[in-house]
A and B are shown apart, each in its own frame.
Chain A
Amino acid sequence: MSLKITAQEKQALYYTVKLEGSLDTSTYPQLESQLRALIVIPAKAIVLDMSKLDYISSMGLRVIFKALKDMQAQGGWLVLSSMQPQIHKVFEIANALPDDGIFETVEEADAYYDAMQKKVREAGKK
């Protein structure tokens, strides 16, 4: 029952947060404070890489919901990627799979973000 969190700034204000292990009643405060630290920067985008996350409970879901809310409030982007089947199932039961905020891989999330940024830049030129 441990959680390892690795945060990496991939582009300016664009972060990948990799989770390894369990997001549960004993580890959720770690993710809460890591996300808080990024949100107050304020980060423009956060991708949660869940490829090595083996377990999540309702406490873990709550932390993610709260971060979604905070990011949305400041016009940022928080997305989930690479969920293992059992994690996907928990999100499904909680009816918490965002329609447009879930990616199969971190690379897909990167590509989507790049495309979004490009659109914004082009819109700015006109």
Chain B
Amino acid sequence: MSLLYIENAKLFLMQTAFSATIANRDDELLELLERLERFAHDAQLPSGMAFQLRLVTEEILTNQVKYAYPPGATGRVSVDITSSLGSLRLEFGDEGTPFDPLKAPPPNLSLAPQQRSGGGLGIHLVKSLAAAVEYRYADGRNILSVTLAPEEQ
């Protein structure tokens, strides 16, 4: 009985905080990033959390808008954010070719910055900042889940 109560309480605390679906276009991306910034402000997220949220969403959504669909093809990109006990869970979705960004080649961090080329820097930042990142492909969708935990004081 008490266990059931705890489960219900958890469900209750898991709130949908933000949800949006856009077309894979730069103007819609910028508008979405601005809306997310307003959300972070209105939700009074601690500054460290707001910074992480902004960086993670910009990096992942930019990659999705650029690469999820073949050049010239239109498609949708989504982000859903739920909050729970001070943590945020972000879920990014698209209907593009199955692609696990966590398996993409990492940037060569041992090279001096001015000698580096190629991508992977964005997803490296995401992996480093997030408490957890998971990829799955389900129902024709790429889904990347990112958990952001409050920074330890």
Which residues of A does B touch, CB under 8 Å? Answer: 1, 24-26, 55, 57-59, 61-62, 64-66, 68-69, 72, 86, 90, 93-96, 98
Contact = CB atoms under 8 A, between A and B. Distances in A.
B101 interface: no
Contact of B37 (A1, A64, A65): A1
A98 B129 contact: no
Contacts of A59: 62
B59 A68 contact: no
B129 A65 contact: no
A1 B30 CA distance: 9
21 contacts: A1-B30, A24-B33, A25-B33, A25-B58, A25-B62, A55-B51, A57-B59, A57-B125, A58-B122, A59-B62, A61-B113, A61-B121, A62-B121, A65-B114, A65-B116, A68-B114, A86-B48, A93-B128, A94-B113, A94-B121, A96-B113
B48 A93 contact: no
B107 to A, nearest CB: 8
B91 to A, nearest CB: 20
Contacts of A57: 55, 58-59, 62, 122, 125
Interface size band for B:
20 to 34
Main secondary structure, interface of B, reads: helix
B128 A86 contact: no
A30 B116 CA distance: 22
A25 B29 contact: yes
A73 B124 CA distance: 27
Contact of B125 (A1, A25, A90): A90
Contacts of A25: 29-30, 33, 58, 62
B54 A72 contact: no
